[in-house]
């Protein structure tokens, strides 16, 4: 049987270890505190060490709340294509940058196709109705 390591006072993710409680089925169980919401939880050392537990259950389920926004789907498609600048990998930042110029039925295009979508490298464009007409463009900056 291996010796239990004292991890009291250490932090794993957003979980602060307060005290050792017991060993249950060969797993050391600890009383912990979620530093995001100050709630108390009991977690095994193996879950802390592996990274399976980084906060309490309620804080682990918190999201950005943007999934119902009309621009979220467009952001998700760009993210899945891995075609976003580091700034725009956060949906909140992307939506705040582009929503003031957003128009229905317009699509997001890049100024320079060799670079990812960003505030300075993207614009909205209306689909062409006639091939000989130039399409309407709306730039962010």
Kind plus residue range of the DSSP H or E element containing 23: strand 15-24
With 0-12 CB in 10 A as exposed, 13-18 as middle and 19+ as buried, what is 57? Answer: exposed
Predicted confidence at residue 27, as pLDDT, reads: 85
pLDDT digits (tens, 9 = 90+) for 123-132: 999 876 655 5
Q: What CA–CA distance (Å, rounded) separates 119 from 47? A: 40
pLDDT digits (tens, 9 = 90+) for 28-86: 899 999 888 888 999 998 888 888 888 888 777 656 677 788 898 889 888 888 889 99
How much is the pTM? Answer: 0.53
Sorted by sequence, the CB contacts under 8 Å of residue 102 that are 6+ apart come out as 70, 71, 124
* Count of residues making up the chain: 141
Q: What CA–CA distance (Å, rounded) separates 128 from 72? A: 24
Question: Between residues 26 and 122, which one has the greater pLDDT?
Answer: 122
Predicted confidence at residue 98, as pLDDT, reads: 92
DSSP character for 128? Answer: P
Q: Which of 107, 100, 113, 115 is nearest to 73 (CA)?
A: 107
């Amino acid at each position: 049987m291996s010796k239990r390591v004292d991890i009291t006072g250490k932090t794993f993710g957003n979980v602060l270890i307060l005290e050792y409680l017991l060993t249950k089925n060969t797993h050391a169980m600890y009383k912990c505190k979620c530093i995001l919401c100050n709630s108390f939880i009991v977690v095994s050392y193996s879950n802390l060490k592996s990274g399976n537990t980084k906060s309490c259950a309620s804080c682990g389920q918190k999201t950005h709340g943007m999934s119902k926004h009309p621009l979220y789907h467009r952001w998700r498609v760009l993210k899945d294509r891995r075609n976003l600048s580091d700034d725009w990998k956060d949906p909140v930042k992307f939506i705040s940058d582009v929503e003031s110029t957003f128009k229905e039925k317009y699509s997001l295009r890049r100024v320079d196709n060799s670079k990812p979508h960003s505030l300075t490298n993207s614009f909205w464009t209306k689909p062409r109705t006639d091939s000989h007409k130039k399409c309407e463009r709306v730039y962010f900056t």
